[in-house]
Chains A and B, each alone.
Chain A
Amino acid sequence: MSLSRKCAVVGAYEHPTRFAPDKTMYQIMAESIRGALDDCGLTIKDVDGLLTAGMGMGAMAIVGFCDYLNLTPNFLDSTNIGGSSFVAHTAHAAAAINAGLCEVAVVVYGSTAASSRFAIGTGGGGGGGDPCDQYEFPFGPTTVGAYAMIAQRHMHDYGTTPEQLAEIAVTMRLHASMNPVAKYRDPITVEDVLASRVISSPLHLLDCCIISDGGGALVITSAERARDLKKKPAYILGVGETVRHAARGQRDFLEIAAAQSGRLAFERSGVAHKDIDMAMIYDSFTITVLATLENLGFCKRGEGGAFVSGGRLRYDGDFPINTDGGGLSSNHPGMRGMFLVIEAVKQLRGECGPRQVADCKVALAHGTGGALGTRHSGATLILTNQ
C-alpha cells in the first residue's frame, strides 16, 4: 500500500513574528492554525486531527493545548523527535488520513525561544532522564559542539574547507534578503563568516543558526478533498524517517539519518534525484546542510564541499535550497522542521516572489532533530504540485 499522492498539504502559514515578548507559545500556535485554515478556506470545525511538538511543551502538552483551543480531535500525535518533528508529523498525518483515522489534520508549532532568552545551541548542561546522558553530559557537550565534531571529521577525511561551509551561510543570507520577514537580511561574505568568532571549532558564529521566536501550521487532507480548496495542493509523494546514534560505540559518524530516511522517501515517491527542483534542508549549522546533501544522495560522500560551492545552492542555481533564508538567517525558534514544509509548499504554489525557483514541480524537505555528533532523527518528505 503506497501513500503516494493520496494526501496533500492544502494550507500553510508561517507566523511572521521573530520576536514576540507580548505573546504566549499557545497564542502563536493558535494564530498559526488560524492562518493555515484561512490559507485553504477550511475552519477550525473541520479539523479532526492534531499533531504538535515543542521544546517548551511537556509530555502531555498536546492535551493541554486541546483544552486551550477547545478541540476534541479524533487523532492526536505529539511525537517529539526534535526539529524534524513537523516533517515526520506531515507524514504521520497523511498515514492517519489514508487509514481513515481523521480527515483534516493540523500540524502546529510555536515557540518564544528568543524572547525567553533560551540558549538553544550553547546551553549544554544537566541532562537527566535519558540513561545515555550520564556518559556524555559530564564532558560538556553542546548542540553546536556535537555538530562541530562532524565538521572536524569531514574536513579531516575529505579536505572540506571553512570557505566551502561559509558559502552555505552566505547563500542563506542572500535568500533572506529576499524574504521580508527574515530576521537577518543584510548580505554577508565568506570573509565575514570566517572573521566571526569560533563558537566550537571549526564552526564560527555565522556557521550557526540564529535564535528567534516563531511558529507555523500546516493543514493536510485527502487528495480528493484537496481539489475543492482555495490553493493548489502540494501532494505528498514520499516520506521516510529514522534515527542515528552512537550505535553501541561502533558508529560511522558521517553516515547520518538522512541516508535511510532519504532512501525510503525516494523509493516510496517514485521520483529520482534529478526530478527534485528545490530542497529545504535543515540548516541548524552549515555542516548540517553539507552532511545532509551527501547522505540524501545528491552528491557522493566526501564531495559535499565541492557540491555546495560555486553558487549551486542559490535560488537561481542548479540546486536551490532554503529559499526563505533558512535557520541561518530567517528564523530558528528551536525546531525548524515546520518552516521547511511551509516554504516547500509555497515554492510549489509559485508564491515566493523574487526568490521563486523557476518551474518548481517537485520539492524535498529534510528535517534533522537532535545533534548529528551524538544522536539525532531525520525525516524526509517529497512533495509535488503535479
Chain B
Amino acid sequence: MPQDKSPKAYRKPLPHIDEESRPWWEAVQRHELYVQKCRDCGDLRFHPRALCTSCMSSRTEWVRCKGSGKIYTFTVTNQNQAGGFRDSLPYVMAWVEVDEGLKMLTNIIDCPPEQVKIGMPVEAVFDDVTPEVTLVKFRPAR
C-alpha cells in the first residue's frame, strides 16, 4: 500500500524493521504480542534476538503474551523537539512489566497523565499507526 504523503501523514519515527525483528512486528500487526523463550535453557527475552543471551542457543520458541501487565515506571513528557511528538505533548512514556516478567518501553494511552501511577494494571492496545506498522501501547486495565 502506498505511503500517505498528505500533511496528516504519521510523523513520529517508525521502526527500522530487520531480519530478526520482522516476525515480531508481523505478529503485532495481527494484534498479537509475543516474547521469546530459549528452547534449551528456558530463559525469556525481549526484544527479539536470533540467539539466547544466556546460553547462545539458536533454538527459540515464541511465547504469546496475555497482554496484561503493570507500570514499572513512567514519565509525563512535556518537552520533545522531535517532529510528531512536538505536536502530541504531553504524552506518557513508560516501562511496562508484562505478566510474563519482561519490561517493554511503551506509551500509556487512554488515561489522563496525572492519573498514571507505578504499579497500575494495564492492558495492551494495538495501535495501527500506518498501514504497515502497528505499535503496542498500554491503557489502564478494564
Binding site for B on A (CB under 8 A): 119, 122-128, 131-142, 144-145, 148-150, 152-153, 156, 197-203, 246, 248-251, 253, 373-374
* Given contact pairs A139-B93, A140-B12, a sample of 19 additional A-B residue pairs in the complex whose CB atoms are under 8 Å apart: A119-B81, A127-B16, A133-B16, A134-B21, A137-B13, A138-B12, A141-B93, A142-B79, A149-B95, A152-B73, A153-B72, A156-B118, A197-B78, A200-B77, A249-B101, A249-B102, A249-B104, A251-B103, A373-B95
Which residue of A has the minimal Cβ distance to B114? A201
Which residue of A has the minimal Cβ distance to B85? A140
Stretch from B1-9, B41-49, B55-63 at the A interface: B41-49
By a CB distance below 8 angstroms, the chain A residues around B35 are 249
Partner of B103, one of A123, A131, A138, A246: A246
By a CB distance below 8 angstroms, the chain B residues around A145 are 75, 77, 80, 93
Query: Whole-angstrom distance from the CB of B137 to the nearest CB of chain A?
Result: 8
Partner of A249, one of B45, B82, B118, B133: B45
Query: Whole-angstrom distance from the CB of B124 to the nearest CB of chain A?
Result: 13
Which residue of B has the minimal Cβ distance to A197? B78
Which residue of A has the minimal Cβ distance to B103? A249
By a CB distance below 8 angstroms, the chain B residues around A126 are 13, 82
Contact in complex: A136, B82 (CB < 8 Å): no
Mask of B32-56 contacts with A, CB within 8 angstroms, 1/0: 0001000000011111010001000
Compute how far the CA of A139 lies from the CA of B129 in the bound complex, rounded to whole angstroms.
12
Given contacts A127-B13, A134-B16, A149-B73, are A139 and B105 in contact (CB under 8 A)? yes
Which residue of A has the minimal Cβ distance to B137? A139
Compute how far the CA of A136 lies from the CA of B46 in the bound complex, rounded to whole angstroms.
12
Which residue of B has the minimal Cβ distance to A156? B118
By a CB distance below 8 angstroms, the chain A residues around B84 are 140
Compute how far the CA of A133 lies from the CA of B17 in the bound complex, rounded to whole angstroms.
10
Is B126 on the interface with A (CB-CB < 8 A)? no
Contact in complex: A139, B20 (CB < 8 Å): no
Compute how far the CA of A122 lies from the CA of B118 in the bound complex, rounded to whole angstroms.
23
Contact in complex: B83, A152 (CB < 8 Å): no
Query: Whole-angstrom distance from the CB of B49 to the nearest CB of chain A?
Result: 8
Given contacts A135-B15, A153-B72, A200-B75, are A124 and B104 in contact (CB under 8 A)? no
By a CB distance below 8 angstroms, the chain A residues around B79 are 122, 142, 144, 199-200
Q: Which of B60-103 contact A (CB under 8 A)?
A: 72-85, 91, 93-95, 101-103
Contact in complex: A139, B74 (CB < 8 Å): no
Given contacts A131-B21, A134-B18, A149-B73, are A125 and B78 in contact (CB under 8 A)? no
Compute how far the CA of A136 lies from the CA of B96 in the bound complex, rounded to whole angstroms.
12
Partner of B47, one of A123, A132, A197, A373: A132
By a CB distance below 8 angstroms, the chain B residues around A150 are 73
Mask of B105-133 contacts with A, CB within 8 angstroms, 1/0: 11100000100001100000000010001
Which residue of A has the minimal Cβ distance to B90? A201
Query: Whole-angstrom distance from the CB of B131 to the nearest CB of chain A?
Result: 15
Query: Whole-angstrom distance from the CB of A204 to the nearest CB of chain B?
Result: 10
Contact in complex: B82, A134 (CB < 8 Å): no
Contact in complex: A140, B103 (CB < 8 Å): no
Contact in complex: A200, B76 (CB < 8 Å): yes
Is B14 on the interface with A (CB-CB < 8 A)? yes
**What are some 28 contacts across the A-B interface (CB < 8 A)?**
A122-B81, A124-B85, A125-B13, A126-B82, A133-B16, A135-B47, A138-B12, A140-B12, A140-B82, A140-B84, A140-B93, A141-B105, A142-B79, A145-B77, A149-B93, A149-B95, A150-B73, A152-B73, A153-B72, A153-B73, A156-B118, A198-B76, A200-B75, A201-B75, A246-B47, A248-B102, A249-B104, A253-B72
